Amino acid sequence: MKRVDLKIVLLGKEYGGKTSLLERYLYDHFHGDLPYQNTIGAAFGAKKIQLDDKQITMGIWDTAGSERYEAMSKIYYRGAKAAIVCYDLTDSSSFERVKFWVDELKKFEEDCMIYLCGTKKDLVQEDRQCRKIDYHTTTDYADEIGANLFETSSKTGECVRELFTQIAMDFVNKYVPSSKEKNEDLILESPGKKSTFCCSS
C-alpha cells in the first residue's frame, strides 16, 4: 500500500461555511442549531481515504474568514496541493472574496489545484430567491481560472464527500504515479478536465 499526504486548505469569507463543510466531511454532522462561532486563526483536521492501492491522508486546514486574520490565512495555503475556496450562495459579497483568494493562489501557489465551493445549497433549494450568486456567473469564472466547481450543503451533506473525493483523485492523477505506470516509465498527465458538480437542483 502506497501512503501519501495531501495538504488541503479552506479559504473564503467569514460566515461562508468553511468550518461546517469540514465538520460534515470529517464527522458527518452539522451543528446548525448552535450559535455561530467564528474561527480564530485556523483549525486542522485529518482524514484517510483509500483509492485503489493508495492511502491518502488528507490534512485539511480550516482558515479564519475574517479579514483580520488574512495575513495568517496566507501561511496556511503555503505548500497546499488543493484549495477549496468557499462562497456563500446566499451572500453576493462572498464571491468577491473568492476572487481575492484565487488571485493570491495563482500568484503565490501556482501548483495548487483550485476548487470553488458554493455553500448552503439547502437554503437556495428551499427558497430560490435566497440565491444571490448566479450559477452561470460562477461556472464561467471557474472555466476562466481552470477550476472545478461544487455546490454543497453541509446541512444535508449534498456533494460534500464528492468534493473531497474528487480532490483526492485529482491529486493522485497529478502527483502519484501508479506502480504500473512507474514500472513502464510512463509520463503522467495532469487530469486537465474540469468538472462542475451540482448534485441536484
Let me know: does 148 contact 183? Beta carbons within 8 Å: no
25, 82, 87, 119: which one contacts ligand GTP (CB under 6 A)? 119
Interface characters, 133-162, with ligand GTP (x: CB under 6 A): --------------------xxx-------
7, 81, 97, 120: which one contacts ligand GTP (CB under 6 A)? 120
Closest CB to ligand GTP among residues 63, 148: 63
Q: 126: Cβ–Cβ under 8 A, 6 or more apart, which residues? A: none
Closest CB to ligand GTP among residues 25, 171: 25
Alpha-carbon torsion (76, 102, 159, 6), positive or negative: negative
What's the min distance (Å) between Cβ of 163 and ligand GTP? 12
Nearest-CB residue to ligand GTP? 65
Let me know: does 62 contact 43? Beta carbons within 8 Å: yes
Q: Which three cell numbers stand for residue 28?
A: 458527518
- Residues in the chain, total: 201
What's the min distance (Å) between Cβ of 58 and ligand GTP? 18
Angle at CA of residue 110, ends 166 and 56, nearest 5°:
35
Strands of the sheet containing 82-88, edge to edge, are: 42-51, 54-63, 2-12, 82-88, 113-119, 148-151, 196-197
Contacts with ligand GTP in 53-112 (CB under 6 A)? 64-66
Strand 196-197 and strand 148-151: the pairing is parallel
Closest CB to ligand GTP among residues 39, 166: 39
Q: Does 20 bind ligand GTP (CB under 6 A)?
A: yes
- Distance (Å, rounded) from C-alpha 120 to C-alpha 150? 11
Residue ranges in contact with ligand GTP by CB under 6 A: 12, 14-20, 32, 36, 38-39, 64-66, 119-120, 122-123, 153-155
